[in-house]
Amino acid sequence: MYTGFFGLTSQPFSIAPNPDFLFLSPRHAEALAHLRYGLGEAGGFVLLTGEVGTGKTTVSRCLLQELTDKTEVAFILNPTLNELELLAAICDQLKIRYKKSDASLKMLTDKITNRLMKNHQGGKNTILIIDEAQHLQPAVLEQLRLLTNLETNTKKLLQVILIGQPELQQLLQRQDLRQLAQRITARYHLMPLTEQEVQQYISYRLQVAGCTRPVFTASAVKKLFLLSGGIPRLLNLICDRAMLGGYSQQKALIDAGLVSQAASEVLAIKPQPVKAAWPVWLWPLLTLVALGIGAGLSAFIW
CA–CA gap between residue 237 and residue 166 (Å, rounded): 22
CA dihedral 25, 30, 32, 33 (to 10 degrees): 140
Could you report the per-residue pLDDT of 108-134, keeping only the tens digit for each?
999 999 999 999 999 999 999 999 999
**Total residues belonging to the chain:** 302
Q: In the predicted model, what is the mean pLDDT of residues 253-267? A: 94
Q: Give alpha helix (H) positions in 172-254.
A: 178-181, 195-208, 218-228, 232-248
Q: Which residues contact 46 (CB under 8 A, 6 or more apart)?
A: 34, 35, 38, 39, 159, 160, 161, 162, 184, 185, 186, 187
Residue-level pLDDT at 58? 84
Residue-level pLDDT at 250? 94
pTM for this model (two decimals) = 0.81
Residue-level pLDDT at 131? 94
Q: In the predicted model, what is the mean pLDDT of residues 47-73? A: 90
Long-range CB contacts for residues 136-139, cutoff 8 Å, separation at least 24: 136/79, 136/162, 136/171, 137/82, 138/171, 138/174, 138/176, 138/177, 139/82, 139/83
Residue-level pLDDT at 297? 47
Mean pLDDT across the chain = 87
CA–CA gap between residue 281 and residue 2 (Å, rounded): 49
pLDDT band at 291 (very low <50, low <70, confident <90, very high): low
Q: Is residue 276 pLDDT above 50, yes or no?
A: no
Q: In the predicted model, what is the mean pLDDT of residues 79-99? A: 94
User: Higher-confidence residue: 67 or 151?
Assistant: 67
pLDDT band at 101 (very low <50, low <70, confident <90, very high): confident
User: Higher-confidence residue: 214 or 224?
Assistant: 224
Reduce the DSSP state of residue 17 to 3 states and report it: coil
Residue-level pLDDT at 275? 45
User: Higher-confidence residue: 296 or 9?
Assistant: 9
Q: In the predicted model, what is the mean pLDDT of residues 277-298? A: 54
Q: Is residue 63 pLDDT above 80, yes or no?
A: yes
